[in-house]
Chains A and B, each alone.
Chain A
Amino acid sequence: MVLGEGHQRFIQTMMIRGIVNEQEAKTLHHHCCEVHKEHYVADKLEEFIQVVNSKLESLNMKIRTRASEDDGMPCYALVNTANNQLTRMSSDYADNELELFRRTMDLIMSSDDGTASSTDILNSADSLQTRKLTMSAAECLLKRLVSDDWLVEKQGDYSLSTRCVMDMEPFIRTMYDDEQVKVCAVCHCLAFKCQICANPLCTVKIHNPCAEKYFKKKPVQRCPGCSELWPNKVTECRQSVSQRQR
């Protein structure tokens, strides 16, 4: 099976954009089919992407999807599936910059909430093994990492962007041990911002939007792993009105 021009245009645009949300992906799907007068069926975005992925697979590339940890809405990104992400970044960043990024990832992975404070990151800049980074160079680097969409910054704390997680997932799962690699018990994807079980012996973690879905119809919230009462407040993440959980 050969890819049509509509598929090719979709791939080219995804390469430029990096990451798109669900609505943008749907619009792009429509646009690509229209421009090349190819058969378009609304709501068949997944099938369209599957066709694209069948050809990208042998090139170690894929259009992946991941739900945002904030609102549960899916995003799409064109990523590499081979385990050489940092090698790819090396064409854009110097070796000591990559090292600082790696240290930032280490801090994030060993945190409870998937963040690293700018203070901690900037302190690491002083003890890099490759070459020191000055404070201002490190701050500049952090700004670049945010604008290149590897990191997200909120009130001085840095976390991995959705696109970064999609891109680096094979790397993360390989390079960090099981304790640090948190996975959501409901959707089984990597979890950074998540709720944890009150039971200290239980390792269950659940994304906020996943928790909302999971506990929606349950009168009593219990941990899917150990059945302890789930104490975390399950708030509404979406616009739709849902019952407030106690």
Chain B
Amino acid sequence: MTQRKSSGKRTSTAVEEEEDDSRFTQPTTSQVQKGMEKLTKAQIDEKTTELVQYILMKDQKKIPVKRADIVKNVLKEYKNVFQEIMNRAQQRLEQVFGFKVVEIDAKNHVYILINKLEPAEGSEMISGNPKTGLLFVILSLVYMKGGVVPEALVWNTLKKMKVDLGERHPEFGDVKKLVTDEFVRQRYLEYTKVPHTEPVKYNFTWGQRAEVEVSKHKILQFLGELHSQDPQRWSQQYKDASSQRSSRAPQPSTSSQR
């Protein structure tokens, strides 16, 4: 019997769990239109602005945004025109900030922002987040091992880089919490139980955000630099990465080559 990946029950996100979305029925297009007609331009603009700021605020903490929360906290009595306001907010997010809204859970309507701008060399220094480096190491490890990695391997790898679970790290603090809680909540990693293990063992896989945000080509480039080798030497992973690149929706860009 195969075990379903438990993506639904997440006890650590109890704080964010609000009313579920099942009671919200989508209005028809004409109902939305009628709803919009009742609103003044100022009201529409105001709600769009509020929604943009709400999404940005959640994204800064890498918390996925749920439609139910949007309706409860932002739209409130304007919930009938959710789609229209959401469309406008998405447009502003793309045009002004360079962020794309992606629905990572079509059933529960959960959204994240992904960056349309490519990560640029030197950006890490300017934005300064060392956690990204750590995350990248883990994502690379999982990728190179075929997509699933037992947690023990991750901890051993980190230990070799002097990031020890047992000690409080000066930069990352409680490393286990960062990796199994924060990175998981942010949907960069998934931390799933291996069935029938005693004591319980866990595996790491890429999370939904990593799937849409992180280009596998970049991972190979990162690793190639680490080992000073041509990425083409890892032929299987390279094929996999090339197919990801061609299946991605083409993004408008001013530069000629990604």
Contact = CB atoms under 8 A, between A and B. Distances in A.
B49 interface: yes
B255 to A, nearest CB: 6
Contact of A8 (B53, B97, B128): B97
Contacts of B99: 12
A17 B95 CA distance: 21
A20 to B, nearest CB: 9
Interface string B34-74: 00000000000100010011001100100000000000000
Contact of A17 (B56, B96, B98, B127): B127
Contact of A60 (B49, B57, B126): B49
A58 B122 contact: no
Given A31-B122, A36-B254, A59-B49, A91 B98 contact: no
Contacts of A58: 45, 49
Contacts of A8: 96-98, 116-117
A104 interface: no
Contacts of A231: none
Interface string B89-125: 0001001111100000000000000011100101100
User: Which of B60, B115, B254: most chain A CB closer than 10 A?
Assistant: B254
Given A15-B60, A31-B126, A5 B53 contact: no
Contact of B95 (A3, A13, A60, A61): A3
A80 B56 CA distance: 12
Contacts of A38: 254
A9 B120 contact: yes
A2 interface: yes
Contacts of A225: none
Given A58-B49, A60-B53, A3 B96 contact: yes
Given A12-B115, A13-B126, A58-B45, A35 B120 contact: yes
A5 B56 CA distance: 18
Contacts of B52: 59
Nearest to B58: A91
Contacts of B115: 12
A42 to B, nearest CB: 18
Interface string B143-172: 000000000000000000000000000000
A163 to B, nearest CB: 15
A36 B56 CA distance: 23
A2 B92 CA distance: 11
Contact of A11 (B53, B96, B122): B96
A5 B127 contact: no
A28 interface: yes
A212 to B, nearest CB: 32
Interface string B215-249: 00000000000000000000000000000000000
A2 B95 contact: yes
A37 B120 CA distance: 12
Contacts of A4: 254
A88 interface: yes
Interface string A47-58: 000000001101
B69 to A, nearest CB: 12
B172 to A, nearest CB: 16
Interface string A12-38: 110111000000000110010001111
A185 B116 CA distance: 45
Given A2-B95, A31-B123, 5 more contacts: A15-B56, A15-B97, A55-B95, A55-B96, A59-B52
Ranked nearest first, the 8 interchain pairs of A and B with the lowest CB-CB distance are A8-B98, A35-B120, A16-B127, A55-B96, A59-B49, A60-B49, A9-B117, A59-B52
